[in-house]
C-alpha cells in the first residue's frame, strides 16, 4: 500500500480547465466516495481550491489507481481522458508525501507562503473524516502536513512575502495622486492584497475598479472594500480609463498583449502596468512602448533577492525537507517492526520448546534449577537477536534504502522463500 496523489493546479492547467474541474463541497464528497469504489484504493482525501484540485489516495496498485482517478477527473470536467491527462500530475509514495507537505506549507501556492491553503487542507481532512473516506495512513499523513504548515508560519515570516511583493510593486508604480485610477484584474489572494494596500494608502475606493472572469468573486471585493467592479467582457472600457493596471488573474497565458494595451492608450498617454501573476499576465514586449511603465515579478524578485523574506522561504523549504525525511524514516520503522516482533516471537517459541525438552529429560531438577535453565536459554536468545534487530533498523534507514525483507536477507543470508515466510509472519502480527 502506498500514497498516491493525482491532480492539477495553476502550474499545469489553464484557468478554464481548472474551473471545469473545480469541486464544491458536495462534489468533493461524492468524488471521495466514487474513488473508494475502485478495488485498488482504500482511502481518499480531496483538496479543491480555486487554484488546485487534488485527490490523495492509499492505493494497492499504482496503474489501476491512476486509470480510475484520471477517468473520474475527465468525467467530472466533461473532457475526454486523452484531453485532460495533459494537465494532470502524479506523485507517488515519497514524492506524494513531499508534495502534500509543500502544499500545506504554502510553497506550491500561486502566492508563496499564503496561509489560506493550510485552512483548506484542514477542511479537506475534516470532510474526509466526517465521510469516513480517510483511514489511518492518510489521516497520519495529513495531520503531519498540518503540523508542518503551522510550524513554517510560526518559525519564519513567510506570511509577509505576498504583502511585501504588493508593497514593493505599488512603490515601484509611483505615488498616487488624487486623480490616479486603478484597474485590478483578478480576485484572488494577491488581488485582494493589492486592493487592501491601495485603500490603506488612502486611495479612494471609487478610483479602484476590480474585474474577474467570475463576477461574483470580484463583487466580494466590492462588498469588503467598497471599490467598483466591472464584468470581464467589459474590462477594456475601464482599461482605457485606468492609469495603473494591476494584474494577477491566475491565467496560464497572456491576458494583456501589446495590441490590447495600444488600443487602450491610442493617444500615447502614460500607463503603468504591474504584473503580479505567475505565469505572467502581461506580454513582456509592452515594455518596448515608450509611454508604458512595466513592472513584473522578475523585477520585483531581483529587488527582493537579498531580503529576509526570501531567506524565510528557504527556511520553510528546509523545514519541509527535514520533515519529509523524518516521516519516511518513521514509516520505514513501522514496516520493519512487525518483522522484528515476529522474529522474537519465533525465538520465544524455540526457547519454550527447548526448555520443555530439557525438563522432560532432566526430571530430577529442582524448581530453582528449572528457572535458571529457562532464564539462561532466554538470555542466549535475546543476545543473539539484539544486534541483528538493531541492524535491521539501521539498514532500513540507511542510504541503500533497503526494505526490511532486504535487510533480513542481508543479515541472515536467507533465500527469498525464507524471507517471504518470515515477512508473512510479520505482516500477520501487525
Any idea which residues carry the catalytic annotation? 50
Closest C-alpha to 187, from 168, 214, 160: 214
Which residues lie below 8 Å from residue 411, measured CB to CB, with a gap of 6+? Answer: 388, 391, 392, 395
| Crossing angle of the two packed helices 136-155 and 308-361, in degrees rounded to 10 | 140
> How many H-runs (helices) and E-runs (strands) does the chain carry?
17, 10
DSSP secondary structure letters along 391-427: HHHHHHHSTT---HHHHHHHHH---HHHHHHHHHHHH
Report residue 418 as a C-alpha cell.
525464507
Question: Is the N-terminal amide bond of 279 cis, ω within 30° of 0?
Answer: yes
CA distance 57 to 34: 12
Among left, alpha and beta (phi > 0; psi -120 to 50; other), residue 201 is alpha
344-381: b (≥16 Cβ within 10 Å) or e: eeebeeebeeebeeeeeeeeeeeeeeeeebbeebeeeb
Length of the chain: 430
Amino acid at each position: 500500500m502506498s500514497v498516491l496523489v493525482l491532480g492539477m493546479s495553476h502550474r499545469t492547467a489553464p484557468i478554464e480547465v481548472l474551473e471545469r474541474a473545480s469541486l464544491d463541497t458536495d462534489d468533493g464528497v461524492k468524488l471521495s466516495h466514487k474513488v473508494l469504489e475502485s478495488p485498488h484504493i482504500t482511502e481518499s482525501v480531496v483538496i479543491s481550491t480555486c487554484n488546485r484540485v487534488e485527490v490523495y489516495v492509499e492505493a494497492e496498485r499504482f496503474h489501476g489507481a491512476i486509470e480510475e482517478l484520471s477517468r473520474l477527473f475527465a468525467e467530472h470536467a466533461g473532457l475526454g481522458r486523452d484531453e485532460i491527462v495533459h494537465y494532470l500530475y502524479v506523485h507517488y509514495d515519497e514524492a506524494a508525501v513531499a508534495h502534500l507537505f509543500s502544499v500545506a506549507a504554502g510553497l506550491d501556492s500561486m502566492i508563496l507562503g499564503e496561509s489560506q491553503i493550510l485552512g483548506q487542507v484542514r477542511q479537506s481532512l475534516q470532510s474526509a473524516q466526517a465521510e469516513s473516506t480517510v483511514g489511518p495512513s492518510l489521516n497520519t499523513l495529513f495531520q503531519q502536513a498540518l503540523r508542518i504548515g503551522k510550524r513554517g508560519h510560526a518559525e519564519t515570516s513567510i506570511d509577509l512575502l505576498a504583502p511585501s511583493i504588493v508593497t514593493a510593486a505599488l512603490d515601484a508604480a509611483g505615488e498616487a495622486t488624487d486623480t490616479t485610477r486603478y484597474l485590478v484584474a483578478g480576485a484572488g489572494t494577491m488581488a485582494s492584497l493589492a486592493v487592501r494596500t491601495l485603500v490603506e494608502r488612502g486611495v479612494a475606493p471609487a478610483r479602484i475598479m476590480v474585474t474577474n472572469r467570475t463576477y461574483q468573486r470580484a463583487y466580494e471585493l466590492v462588498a469588503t472594500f467598497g471599490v467598483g467592479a466591472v464584468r470581464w467582457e467589459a474590462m477594456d472600457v475601464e482599461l482605457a480609463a485606468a492609469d495603473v493596471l494591476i494584474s494577477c488573474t491566475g491565467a496560464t497565458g497572456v491576458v494583456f498583449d501589446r495590441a490590447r494595451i495600444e488600443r487602450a492608450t491610442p493617444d500615447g498617454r502614460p500607463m503603468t502596468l504591474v504584473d503580479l501573476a505567475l505565469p505572467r499576465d502581461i506580454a513582456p514586449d509592452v515594455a518596448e512602448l515608450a509611454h508604458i511603465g512595466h513592472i513584473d515579478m522578475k523585477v520585483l524578485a531581483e529587488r527582493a533577492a537579498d531580503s529576509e523574506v526570501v531567506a524565510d522561504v528557504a527556511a520553510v523549504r528546509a523545514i519541509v525537507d527535514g520533515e519529509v525525511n523524518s516521516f519516511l524514516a518513521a514509516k520505514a520503522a513501522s514496516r520493519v517492526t512487525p518483522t522484528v516482533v515476529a522474529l522474537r516471537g519465533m525465538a520465544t517459541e524455540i526457547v519454550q520448546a527447548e526448555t520443555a525438552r530439557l525438563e522432560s529429560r532432566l526430571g530430577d531438577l529442582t524448581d530453582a534449577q528449572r528457572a535458571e535453565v529457562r532464564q539462561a536459554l532466554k538470555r542466549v536468545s535475546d543476545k543473539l537477536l539484539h544486534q541483528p534487530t538493531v541492524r535491521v533498523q539501521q539498514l532500513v534507514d540507511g542510504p541503500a534504502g533497503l526494505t526490511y525483507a532486504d535487510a533480513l536477507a542481508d543479515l541472515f543470508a536467507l533465500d527469498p522463500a525464507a524471507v517471504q515466510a518470515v515477512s508473512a509472519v510479520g505482516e500477520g502480527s501487525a
